[in-house]
Structure 1
Amino acid sequence: MSAAPVGSTVVGSGRSIRVLLADDQHLVRTGFRVILEVEDDIEVVGEAADGARAVEMTRAIRPEVVLMDVEMPGMDGLEATRRIVGAGPDAPAVLILTTFDRDDYLFAALRAGASGFLLKNGTPEELGEAIRVLARGDALLAPEITRRVIATFARPGNPGGAAGGGPDAAAALRELTPRECETLVLLAGGASNAEIAATMRLGEATVKTHVSRVLAKLGLRDRVQAVVFAYENGVVRPGG
């Protein structure tokens, strides 16, 4: 579970990454706090026991990353994620943490705007690295998650809907240059920047520029959404 490092004003700047914990189980929140507070560059700045409180606290304390459970009383983690991410470009990144390894949760979390998806049976090291990845402004789309996205879109009646996202998506796709289209296809396959650079015979700095332009032109937050967009709109097809 890794991502290519990119520049950041959070990581390596002398400031800790401010993290909000959202989970309805007090013992779980305590466990996460204990794990994270041994990290020199991570600071737990608040805890919420339900989605509504997570939204409220996010507005008040402005964390960089929110660790979000899915199943909580009242407002669940998916609705809370939609509200947090929908607050604007300065919204924190949301890392979904769940014990449920289910495709419907995965796709709902991605559509809600989550930048990462992690099962609670991961290691403390994976959790810390996931927070750092999101704080850098990147997304956490592990290879196994990409494979599940592809496999799910290959099934009839998949949760991604039919290919073709309507006139807005089609118009946005027409704005991409051939190089940007190729970049989107490789992103949809789960390729890292280094792998895209090798395939396209470009420098990684150039690839980062292509990725940024693809996301901007398509109105996408990160590479996670780029993968879903590509499959939903027929840019790539499973097995193709």
Structure 2
Amino acid sequence: MNHIEIREIEKSFVENGKVVPVLSGLSLSIEKGEFFTLFGPNGCGKTTLMNMLAGTEHPDKGEIKLYSESKDNYVSYVFQDFRGSLIPWKNVEDNIGFPLKIRGVKKPERTRKVEEIFERFDIKLDPKAKVYALSGGQAQLTSLLRALIVKPEVLILDEPFSALDYKTRLLMTQTIEKIWRAAGITIIFISHDIDEAIYLGDHLAILSERPARVKGMLEIPFKRPRHFKLFGTPEFAAYKKGALEIFLS
């Protein structure tokens, strides 16, 4: 069942008095509960597309259909600058619970819900730790849990691992897959790393240079749960080769 349908989206911006097309006739269908990855060159319009899904921007033409069971907790968004989006003078627990505070949830209930999400996803993180004391992976995990605390139907992740070192990226890749499986939500994951996009995704959309259009839509055949050993298999190499041929065509 489709959760999101994007139909013939067009979007332009004005830069230095000139109209710059960003998205051109872009269409996608995303199934409910899937892990959907987007791969494309830098500056092609991936983030603009995600902003439209989140409702912070609107297309010039085309339409986006969101089939939601709730009007309150539909989309959560984790940005590239995850550390900058955290509140530096608050601890981990208060950062994660901040969306609940905005909604008027009292402190004891916020604490209980943070404890629940730690238990649900088997999180090993000090809730009283200050943000400045967190490693990159811990800060990213805090940002991720803050997005999940409101129980969204859709989670958008915009190149969330780009600022992490390689080992931490691998560990976070495993963590996000585990959380997705436990949460049962739809994830849309923007990546500029083809290995990461293939490893995580159920479907992979390959976008063109700006103005972006869909160059290829691939179903990823590898069974879950996945393991890092997949990267070294001939099957993964062959699949990656095919994806890159589409990307570079």
**TM-score over 0.5 for the pair:** no
Scaled by the length of structure 1, what TM-score is found?
A: 0.29
TM-score, normalised by the number of residues in structure 2 = 0.29
Bigger Rg, which one: 2
Select the structure that is richer in strand. 2
